[in-house]
Amino acid sequence: MTSLGFGVLGAGRIGRLHARNLSGAVDRARVVGVMDAIPEAAEVVAAASDGAYATQDAEALIKDEQIDCVLIASPTTLHAEQIVLAARAGKAIFCEMPVAFTLPETIEAMEVVEETGVPFQIGFNRRFDPGIAAVAEAIHSGGLGEVEMFRSQSGDHSPPPLDYVATSGGIYLDSAIHDIDVARFIVGEVERVTALGRVLIEPGMEEHGDVDTSVLTLEFASGALGIIQNSRRTAYGHDVRVEVHAAAGKVVSEEERDTQAWTYTREGIRGDYRSDFLERFKQAYIRELQSFVDAVLEGRKPSPGPRDAVESLRVAIAATRSLHEKRPVRLVEVA
Amino acid sequence: MTSLGFGVLGAGRIGRLHARNLSGAVDRARVVGVMDAIPEAAEVVAAASDGAYATQDAEALIKDEQIDCVLIASPTTLHAEQIVLAARAGKAIFCEMPVAFTLPETIEAMEVVEETGVPFQIGFNRRFDPGIAAVAEAIHSGGLGEVEMFRSQSGDHSPPPLDYVATSGGIYLDSAIHDIDVARFIVGEVERVTALGRVLIEPGMEEHGDVDTSVLTLEFASGALGIIQNSRRTAYGHDVRVEVHAAAGKVVSEEERDTQAWTYTREGIRGDYRSDFLERFKQAYIRELQSFVDAVLEGRKPSPGPRDAVESLRVAIAATRSLHEKRPVRLVEVA
Amino acid sequence: MTSLGFGVLGAGRIGRLHARNLSGAVDRARVVGVMDAIPEAAEVVAAASDGAYATQDAEALIKDEQIDCVLIASPTTLHAEQIVLAARAGKAIFCEMPVAFTLPETIEAMEVVEETGVPFQIGFNRRFDPGIAAVAEAIHSGGLGEVEMFRSQSGDHSPPPLDYVATSGGIYLDSAIHDIDVARFIVGEVERVTALGRVLIEPGMEEHGDVDTSVLTLEFASGALGIIQNSRRTAYGHDVRVEVHAAAGKVVSEEERDTQAWTYTREGIRGDYRSDFLERFKQAYIRELQSFVDAVLEGRKPSPGPRDAVESLRVAIAATRSLHEKRPVRLVEVA
Amino acid sequence: MTSLGFGVLGAGRIGRLHARNLSGAVDRARVVGVMDAIPEAAEVVAAASDGAYATQDAEALIKDEQIDCVLIASPTTLHAEQIVLAARAGKAIFCEMPVAFTLPETIEAMEVVEETGVPFQIGFNRRFDPGIAAVAEAIHSGGLGEVEMFRSQSGDHSPPPLDYVATSGGIYLDSAIHDIDVARFIVGEVERVTALGRVLIEPGMEEHGDVDTSVLTLEFASGALGIIQNSRRTAYGHDVRVEVHAAAGKVVSEEERDTQAWTYTREGIRGDYRSDFLERFKQAYIRELQSFVDAVLEGRKPSPGPRDAVESLRVAIAATRSLHEKRPVRLVEVA
């Protein structure tokens, strides 16, 4: 087998991006079919993915024999059942995060994956950001000794619409979960979290019990401490940066700026900044799929896998509980 | 009066540095006398300060009519009584931080200062670091709107000796108090703090009830959130950096590296890093004294003043209590 | 027509790269056939370009009706005749630089292109490097006023093999021509050049009348001055940087480093450097083809075109003559 | 002797700066007297140099027994005779560059210095710029192998007034001589130069036979090549940068920006730039005097010395001749 056939479920913004990467930038992969509840959406994406067909029938697509892998980019509420369907059909699965908004649903779906033994990767794409991957490698290589402090910050260009907020699961499940997964990836498991949140940007957040500005502290099982800062409005663009302080030094992911030229005038020095997260994580989106395709073709387990899908969610749920109950929450409390 | 005569109390590392700056880099200032309990120490510093005399008698120095200003760089336990003596003698006072390890002693000394009306400046030198001052100016100018998140990190090159730790007052009074003062300077008063500390570097810290690694979260009266990270070992050098996220953007103090040249070889790109805090804050030490001298000569109140001496200490004490009692501490609890 | 079919002539390193980009990263393009004198080379590239056929017959490929565009990546000595064949067959042409090693051959081929009216683009890919393109845009926008000085530097990771040197046309036709084309692109036409060259790296250069280290000064028709520095060995990697000084300020292309993370240790600060020119100009290679495809599909003239193929070569030949004759050479002398 | 007494000749901008540094920032030095033809100028500088006297009599000052060193910051036309007077009086001499506008006068004065054996330093302050000094050290340490290309650029914030231009000696003696001296310091002696100059900024330059924009190429005795770029108007500030390409890598002096904070907003990233050369070379001015004082007190020959005064001037004169005669000029032609 020289190339994997993908069925893409969901032709929204992320599904479209993945389909495009699969038909262009990712080696040994091609799109066979695209499913969306809105026929036009599926057709547009299929047409752009040389020769793929469009459908509204998820189950038929999953079961299509031409399809080796199912890429799930549908609404979160459909993820778990599509995972189960695909696993039972013996298909390799790449699923956008999260698997579900609750831990039991997530665990249940992951158990089916484990039972069926199909390859499964969860879309924590930041692990594949070149900068963050380089930080992880520097730490995992051991050359800097034990981690003492971890810090990640994420900023969205502007707050999401309130109707999105209503169904997003809140800032920790929707946004900080990416920083949490990176923390787990680089430092290891978390024991306790303490969340501090504020509504400083979008007053409408209040009625959804959500915040737009957050500081989350992490206590890792290793003894290290961590900080995650999130803001729903970093006016200058999508700002993500990871910094790890270890016994023998620190390592910092380089800022992903858009600056291709610096201009010097009487007003000082000026460069541009990248404002869009799809652009910010362009490489990460391609690299995560390439890693999945390579693992499947070479018979290795893809990573991050089912355990990461569960444990990063568990930390995000603990953070949400900490925010609402205004107290530190231990991970063992969250089941 | 074209130049202020200084009496320097304490000829240790910091007293020596201040004396040197007063006789060289600071305009309109000169050293008249240097006091230290160790005669040789006073003599060495006096000799290096063109024409100053050495003495072991603090009170005589304070009362010397040639002296306009007293610079207190003696052990912290002597600060309060020397402040009172100097204030009663009508001298302008520059005092290294902190005034005292307890709030009542600090408040009492500051009340004498207020009563006598002498100019008083507390040695929170970071406010005068060019990078941090530029961040403060960017925020205070209003152009970036309201502050939403504040972050400061401080790292010492290597942990202090344990006998120093024993009398240091702990990481918050000894080290984080500088970050705290910067937080207050830039964002305003703090309402509540939560400290997380660890002993990851120097096990001997435990017996002194101290930690070497800390994450402190701040809740400001304005609603903004803050983070202060402290480590007693940033192996590469003295690392201090401030980052403020506001409604319309962020502003970050430039890293103070020692790199004067970048070398490109097969091994990659390499630059040097500054390892010493005296070197790191060289400009800040000069600028804080210049600001004091200018204020005294021009009849303005020096800043940071008595209120800052009290309030930054209050936050540091609250942080220490939070560490020991493992709970958030409100500032109003600390009196 | 929604997508252009390409015939790729030459399956060497650059042909392979272009074929890969056409089948992956470039929109609205696909590879139909790949020709190379070595059957295996053509087959490998064809196999990697979903569904393309391999052939050894350039003429048949050029004339294939499925083919809209011919991409010429064959040895330079074949470029001119393949351009003529393709132009007479009415195909759009993308040709790697240079068209030929001599000006008359180049002019002759370009005349056929002009007569037949087929779209033609010459592969000066640096115009599409994001950094260099941003510099050009800053200057062309007019905001910085008239250009006064131009500077470009190019460094190869290591000197080419001597048998390559023998047929390369020399450092100005092989390497500096890229800097020259950028100079013309940003500043305009050149009036006179003065070359200084040295053999400092690879003594074998001498017998080919070539140098490995060069400083070339340019006098532009506008009155501006320019410098191009070339080295066949920049030990740390492929280093290309453009800096333009104008009346109201300067603009500098950002260095293309590979550094995704900076590490701080007792040894200082360290980052990685990119060593390969295919990697250095990865974006430029994709963007130049996309620009060609878009121009052809939208009926615009591609750029850089025939005039650039001629004029940039003319400057490179003048530089070579200046090197050999040890005197400034005016462009009007070169015909 | 613990401190050197200085007589400062000339109380213009540079004399004032040196006097201030001697009385403040430089260790083991003090100002004893200040001479200027304008009494008020001498008085202002003397008054600011704790206890120095003012005079209009250069000879009396030079011969004053309290004076160990003469610092010559008078108009260039007076340098040579003041050097001779000071040398005959047995005083150590620090002289602003150049010694004279002609080579014979310079050589004659330097011969008196050599005969009398007095310590002599010429004010090529860039050798003491931390960045340039670091580049020199990296090269002189030998770790990067032989130098292959040297590049220096200097830009003034804005062109000097035309009456200054009239007596300045032209761009090479007035400005490029600093870059030339750095080139000699780092790479070694120069064999031949070729100047290209333009009047692009200030048309009035023409009548003085001067240019405001220049590219100067250097051929070093070692075989290395060099470039010096000069502009009389770098609108954003005083821009000086040195870059040396050697066998095993390159080393680049860090840009001296004034940026203490970077601001990120919707408009991009912004930092400040330093516009004044006194500020740009603040450290260099202090360090060159400290180096002179230390050498004199420790009985070492100061550097750069008489040979540098002669040879850097010789290159500048060769460059001027090359500009006017429009041909390469060998150094051996200039006597």
The mean predicted confidence, pLDDT, of chain A is: 95
Q: Classify residue A96 by its DSSP letter.
A: P
pLDDT, tens digit (0-9, with 9 covering 90-100), for C215-246: 999 999 999 999 999 999 998 888 899 999 99
Q: What are the chain C neighbours of A30 within 8 Å (beta carbons)?
A: 50
Quick check: B99 pLDDT over 90? yes
Query: Residue C333 corresponds to which tokens in the numbers above?
Result: 């002398």
Q: Whole-angstrom Cα distance, residue C268 to residue C258?
A: 18
Q: Whole-angstrom Cα distance, residue C129 to residue C207?
A: 34
**Arithmetic mean of pLDDT, A142-167:** 93
Q: What are the chain B neighbours of C239 within 8 Å (beta carbons)?
A: 264
Q: Whole-angstrom Cα distance, residue D32 to residue D71?
A: 11
The mean predicted confidence, pLDDT, of chain B is: 95
Could you tell me the residue range of the domain that residue D100 belongs to? 4-118
Quick check: A219 pLDDT over 70? yes
- Give residue A255's pLDDT band: very low, low, confident or very high (50, 70, 90): confident
Quick check: B1 pLDDT over 50? no
CB contact under 8 A, D223 and C200: yes
pLDDT, tens digit (0-9, with 9 covering 90-100), for A19-29: 999 988 898 99
Any idea which of B145-154, B320-329, D21-30 has the lowest mean pLDDT? D21-30
Query: Under DSSP, is residue D272 helix (H, G, I), strand (E, B) or coil?
Result: coil
Q: How far is the alpha carbon of C264 from chain B, nearest alpha carbon, in Å? A: 6
Residue B307 lies in a domain: no
**Chain center to CA of C94:** 12
CB pairs < 8 Å spanning A and C: 73
**Chain center to CA of D299:** 23
Quick check: D31 pLDDT over 80? yes
D112 and D180 share one domain: no
CATH code, C17:
3.40.50.720
- Asked, as a colleague might, if the bond just before C98 is cis with ω within 30 of 0, I would say yes
Strand residues in D186-318 grouped as ranges (E): 190-198, 213-220, 225-231, 239-246, 249-253, 261-265, 268-271
User: Residue B36 — left, alpha, or beta (φ > 0 → left; ψ -120 to 50 → alpha)?
Assistant: beta
List of residues 6+ apart from D289 with CB closer than 8 A = D18, D21, D22, D26, D29, D94
Q: Considering only alpha carbons, which residue of chain A is nearest residue B237?
A: A249
C92 and C178 share one domain: no
Residue C223 lies in a domain: yes
Angle, in degrees to the nearest 10, between helices D103-116 and D306-325? 170
CB contact under 8 A, C130 and A260: yes
CB contact under 8 A, A250 and B229: no
- Give residue A208's pLDDT band: very low, low, confident or very high (50, 70, 90): very high
ipTM of the complex: 0.93
List of residues 6+ apart from D36 with CB closer than 8 A = D10, D11, D12, D15, D42, D45, D54, D56
CB contact under 8 A, C265 and A252: no
Q: How far is the alpha carbon of A177 from chain D, nearest alpha carbon, in Å? A: 25
- Asked, as a colleague might, if the bond just before B304 is cis with ω within 30 of 0, I would say yes
Cα atoms in the 13 Å half-sphere on the side-chain side of B24: 21
Quick check: C1 pLDDT over 60? no
B134 and B47 share one domain: no
Q: Between these two residues, B142 and A279, which has the higher pLDDT value?
A: B142
Give the domain-ending residue among C87, C118, C149.
C118
* D134: nearest CB among B50, B260, B264: B260
**Arithmetic mean of pLDDT, A170-193:** 97
**Arithmetic mean of pLDDT, B86-102:** 97
Q: Which residues of D touch C (CB under 8 A)?
A: 146, 148-149, 151, 155, 194, 196, 198, 200-201, 213-215, 217, 219, 223-227, 229, 231, 233-236, 239, 245, 247-250
B81 and B144 share one domain: no
**pLDDT score at B220:** 98
CB contact under 8 A, B148 and A200: yes
* C223: nearest CB among D198, D224, D227: D198
Counts of helices then strands in chain C (DSSP H, E): 12, 15
The DSSP result for D156-178, as a single string, is -SSPPPHHHHHHS--HIIIIIHH
Torsion of the alpha carbons at D60, D65, D68 and D71, rounded to the nearest 10: -10
Quick check: B257 pLDDT over 80? no
B208 and B109 share one domain: no
**Arithmetic mean of pLDDT, D200-227:** 97
Q: Whole-angstrom Cα distance, residue A82 to residue A97?
A: 13
CATH code, B219:
3.30.360.10
* B273: nearest CB among C236, C269, C272: C269
Q: Which chains have 3+ CB pairs within 8 A of D?
A: A, B, C
Residue B88 lies in a domain: yes
Q: How far is the alpha carbon of B76 from chain A, nearest alpha carbon, in Å? A: 30
Q: Whole-angstrom Cα distance, residue C231 to residue C197?
A: 10
Let me know: does B128 contact B122? Beta carbons within 8 Å. no
Residue A29 lies in a domain: yes
Q: Classify residue A146 by its DSSP letter.
A: S
Query: Residue B33 corresponds to which tokens in the numbers above?
Result: 């006398």
Q: What are the chain D neighbours of C235 within 8 Å (beta carbons)?
A: 247-249
Let me know: does A219 contact A183? Beta carbons within 8 Å. no
DSSP 3-state percent helix, strand, coil across chain A (nearest 5): 40, 25, 35
Query: Under DSSP, is residue A304 helix (H, G, I), strand (E, B) or coil?
Result: coil
Q: What are the chain D neighbours of A271 within 8 Å (beta carbons)?
A: 268-269
Torsion of the alpha carbons at C158, C159, C163 and C164, rounded to the nearest 10: 80
CB contact under 8 A, B261 and D138: yes
Q: What are the chain B neighbours of A148 within 8 Å (beta carbons)?
A: 198, 200-201, 213, 231, 233
B15 and B112 share one domain: yes
C156 and C105 share one domain: no
A275 and A212 share one domain: yes
Residue B306 lies in a domain: no
Any idea which of C75-84, C199-208, D41-50, D170-179 has the lowest mean pLDDT? D41-50
Q: How many domains, chain D?
A: 2
Q: Between these two residues, A246 and D278, which has the higher pLDDT value?
A: A246
**Arithmetic mean of pLDDT, C96-115:** 97
Query: Residue C266 corresponds to which tokens in the numbers above?
Result: 């007792």
**pLDDT score at D48:** 85
**pLDDT score at D40:** 96
Quick check: D94 pLDDT over 60? yes
Query: Residue A166 corresponds to which tokens in the numbers above?
Result: 């209503």
Q: What are the chain B neighbours of D287 within 8 Å (beta carbons)?
A: none
Residue A301 lies in a domain: no
Let me know: does D314 contact D103? Beta carbons within 8 Å. yes
The strands making up A4-9's β-sheet, listed across from edge to edge, are: A53-55, A29-35, A4-9, A69-72, A92-95, A120-122
D41 and D189 share one domain: no
CB contact under 8 A, D219 and C196: yes
- Give residue C136's pLDDT band: very low, low, confident or very high (50, 70, 90): very high
Chain A interface mutation, best of C264, C279, C281, highest count of A Cβ atoms under 10 Å: C264
**Arithmetic mean of pLDDT, D251-278:** 85
Torsion of the alpha carbons at D225, D230, D235 and D240, rounded to the nearest 10: 60
Give the domain-ending residue among A118, A149, A171.
A118
Residue C299 lies in a domain: no
Q: What are the chain A neighbours of C135 within 8 Å (beta carbons)?
A: 261
* D262: nearest CB among B24, B50, B254: B254
**Arithmetic mean of pLDDT, C172-184:** 97
* D268: nearest CB among A239, A264, A273: A273
The mean predicted confidence, pLDDT, of chain C is: 95
Residue C206 lies in a domain: yes
B48 and B181 share one domain: no
**What values do phi and psi take at B196, rounded to 5?**
-125, 125
Q: Considering only alpha carbons, which residue of chain B is nearest residue D286?
A: B25
Q: Considering only alpha carbons, which residue of chain D is nearest residue C147?
A: D200
Give the domain-ending residue among C89, C118, C147.
C118
C87 and C132 share one domain: no
CA angle B172, B178, B183 (to 5 degrees): 100
B95 and B170 share one domain: no
Chain A interface mutation, best of D269, D276, D280, highest count of A Cβ atoms under 10 Å: D269
Q: What are the chain A neighbours of C25 within 8 Å (beta carbons)?
A: 24-25
CB contact under 8 A, B131 and D260: yes
Q: Whole-angstrom Cα distance, residue C291 to residue C121?
A: 9
